[in-house]
Structure 1
Amino acid sequence: MKLAVARLGADRIPTVVEVDGEKATVVVGAAAADLVEVAVHPQRYTGRGESIALADLELDPPLARPASLRDFMAYDAHLINSLAGLGQTPHPSWYEEPIFYFSNPAAVIGHGAAVRRPRGSVKLDYEVELAAVVGREAADLDAEDPAALDCLAGFTLMNDWSARDLAAKEMRHHLGPVKGKDFATSLGPWLVTPDELPIVDGVVDVPVVARVNGAVHTDNTFRDMTFDWRRILARASANTTLVPGDVIGSGTVGFGCLLELRTRNKELGEERYRFLADGDVVEIEAAGLGVLRNVVGQP
């Protein structure tokens, strides 16, 4: 299933809808907070209401306030490309286990929403990611267990917006990105249950592109993970319990952000891959996962 949260009626009440092609059908009895349960227990929500053209709907993020938001770095290409401009390479220990940081669940926005530029930032960047949504409690998962992904409700596109200038200052002090990531994370346009996606050896094998004002900047795939989703979930659940509604980001694909593109294409960086300006439209599109579109706004 593809499940979204749409605002319906004169009161714009957030409601779960099932997406099928160009139409969305109301899932009877499912409020926005029930989306994960609908994905995990579809047999409890068999009723369907009116169908509406998808283009006519205002969509919220699949989870407007996740229980938690972890973001990993599962693609070494992103790290290699980012460090290249500093004349550095990844430390060998990076390959021992996936690392992550906690981001801000209160800053999640959905498809079509404006991204609020942080005050004082002139180096705003997009980051192409895939996010997994936890559907069942899980603790201390085994990365070698083929059933490790059974705890998931599904996947959704993620744009991990980054204020590069703010992050550069705070990361000097070894606490990771904080205010450089605190202002916005896009999720959407909908949640796709795992059975709808090609998943091989813990990897979602679909191509992905990112466009800025219609021009393709990123053209890659979610396939080439250094750490697959079983490794990610094992690390996320180590010594703790994942709960329904937790969101876990994959980290950025190779050449999945302007920082990488500017670093690896210096002759074109300033002109073609400038940092984002107010009014720029950023779209992330992946097969089966839809298009996640946002416009850059002002503080």
Structure 2
Amino acid sequence: MRFATYESDGAVHSGVVADDGLHPLPDTTTTVLDVVRLGLPAALDAGAAALRGPAVALTEVRLLPPLAPPTVRDFVAFEEHVEGVVASVSGGAGVPPEWYEAPTFYFTNPYALLGAHDDVAIPPGSAQFDFELEVAAVVGRDGTSLTPERAREAIFGYTILNDWSARDLQRREMKVQLGPAKGKDSATTLGPWLVTADELADRHDEDGFLALEMSVAVNGRPVGRDLLANMGWPFADLVSYASRGTWVRAGDVLGSGTCGNGGCLAELWGRGRDVPPLAPGDVVEMTVEGLGTIRNTVVAGARLPPVRPARPRSRRRTR
């Protein structure tokens, strides 16, 4: 089943996507996050009830992010991506040996989420704007220190994630051994909807990886293509690691990290490819098998004054 959040006639609604359009949930106050918190069996019942009602054409609504997650973690689970980006962002070479030891993630901004077809503004001060093709898992139940087996059972569903990145801002931040922060928190696209895990049950390989084809194009020109199963860890391991010694909650979003083979421009830059950063007017389209397509247009961002640098430190020890 595919759950969506959308805007129609100035109001926000939640519903189920079918071939004939969007079927609003019977209770207009119910959000997709509420449905996720019900758990998968009850959520499927709520969706089935919605499908018995009338539909709204997809062309008549604005798709919003499928849900408003409490937190968004973004992992870096593709070895090929790390290999290419280390050179262009960190100035190094190869994959750090620490990457193989355990999954690595950072928390990104849940207030900067955009819908499947929203415009995306270039962050102030950035001249190297980039996309990142990812898939995200949505947690369906609270848990702590979950085993991978229990973590897989806790996944409610999946959606496409584009982790928009200001590479020049990110590069400066990471030289301070902290981040990324401002290089990442201006925009993240989620969408077009949330596909429940049962729809993809037959797409797992024998090791628990989802074998879904992923692709990205800029202005209609193919840029990258990969298989989601090329992750270094399956999503169950990512959820398990995120819950290690702490909690994950229903509705939390966990990104896979960017796929390889052109999943972002920075990877291509690191491999010596002379491709320009994104500019206003560029259209970035991402498709993931079984999950759908998102398509965003890049627009100019706000023009703000430069950030004031730090003052030289004072040597005084008393007033």
21, 24, 30: which one aligns with 1:23: 21
| Alignment partner of 1:58 out of 55, 58, 62 | 62
SS in structure 1 of the partner of residue 55 of structure 2 = strand
User: What amino acid is aligned across from residue 129 of structure 2 in structure 1?
Assistant: L
Deviates more, 1:134-143 or 1:40-49: 40-49
Moved over 6 A (4+): none
Q: 3-state DSSP class of the match of 1:223?
A: helix
Q: Secondary structure at the match of 1:51?
A: coil
For residues 274 and 81 of structure 1, the distance between their equivalents in structure 2, rounded to whole angstroms, comes to: 16
Equivalences for residues 38-57 of structure 1 within 5 A: 40=40, 41=42, 42-48=44-50, 49-57=53-61
**Separation of aligned partners in 2, 1:19 and 1:45:** 9
How far apart, CA to CA, are the structure 2 residues paired with 1:126 and 1:84?
17
Instruction: Indicate the residue corresponding to 1:239 in structure 2.
Output: 245
Residue 124 of structure 2 aligns with which residue? 119
Structure 2 counterpart of 1:298, from 297, 300, 304: 300
Unaligned runs of 5+ in 1: none
Which residue does 2:168 correspond to in 1? 165
Secondary structure of 2:267's counterpart equals helix
Superposed CA offset, 1:135-191 (max 9, x none): 111110113x2x421111100000000000000111001102110001011100000
Choose 188-197 or 78-87, whichever is displaced more.
78-87
Q: TM-score, normalised by structure 1?
A: 0.91
Q: 2:258 aligned to 247, 252, 256, which one? A: 252
Aligned runs of 1:149-160 on 2, under 5 Å? Answer: 149-160=152-163
Deviation at 1:7, TM superposition (A): 1.6
Using the alignment, how far apart are the partners of 1:221 and 1:133 within structure 2? Answer: 19
Amino acid at match of 1:51: A
Which of 207, 210, 215 aligns to 2:216? It is 210
**1:27 partner letter:** L
- Stretch moving more, 193-202 or 252-261: 193-202
Give, as a single letter, the amino acid of the residue that structure 2 aligns with 1:18.
Answer: V
Does the Cα contact within 8 Å between 2:25 and 2:46 map onto a contact in 1? no
**Contact 1:39/1:154 (<8 A) preserved:** no
Q: Report Cα offsets for 1:99-149 as digits up to 9, x if no partner.
A: 101111111111111112111101000000000111111110113x2x421
Find out whether 1:92 has 2:90 as its counterpart: no
The SS at the match of 1:209 is strand
> What RMSD in Å do the two structures reach over aligned CA positions?
1.7
Is 1:219 matched with 2:225?
yes
| Contact 1:138–1:242 (8 Å) recurs in 2 | yes
Match of 1:105 among 110, 117, 122: 110
1:289 aligns with 2:291: yes
CA distance in 1, matches of 2:14, 2:268: 37
| Cα distance between partner residues in 2 of 1:96 and 1:248 | 19
TM superposition shift of 1:210: 0.5
More strand by share: 1
**Mean Cα deviation higher: 14-23 or 247-256:** 14-23
Match of 1:81 in 2: 84
What is the identity, as a one-letter code, of the residue corresponding to 1:294? N
Of 27-36 and 121-130, more deviation after overlay is shown by 27-36
The structure number with the bigger radius of gyration is: 2
Between the aligned partners of 1:159 and 1:195, the Cα distance in structure 2 is 23
Give the gaps of 5 or more residues in structure 2: 302-319
Q: AA paired with 1:77? A: E
TM-score normalised by the chain length of structure 2: 0.86
For the residues of structure 1 that align with 2:184 and 2:64, how far apart are their CA atoms?
Answer: 20
Q: Give the aligned residue type for 2:299.
A: G
Matched with 1:4 is 4
What is the identity, as a one-letter code, of the residue corresponding to 1:177?
P
Query: 2:39 and 2:116 mapped to 1: Cα distance?
Result: 20
Q: Is the 8 A contact 2:129 2:277 kept in 1?
A: yes
Aligned to 2:312: none
For residues 190-242 of structure 1, the C-alpha deviation after alignment (integer angstroms, 9 at most, x for no partner) is 00001111123332211011111111111111111111112211110011111
The letter for the 2-side match of 1:3 is F
Residue aligned with 1:245, SS: coil
Q: Distance between the aligned counterparts of 1:216 and 1:44, measured in 2?
A: 38
Question: In the alignment, is the contact (CA less than 8 A) between 1:125 and 1:163 conserved in 2?
Answer: yes
> Shift of the alpha carbon at 1:286?
1.0
- The percent of aligned pairs where both chains have the same amino acid is 39
In structure 1, the residue matched to 2:133 is 128
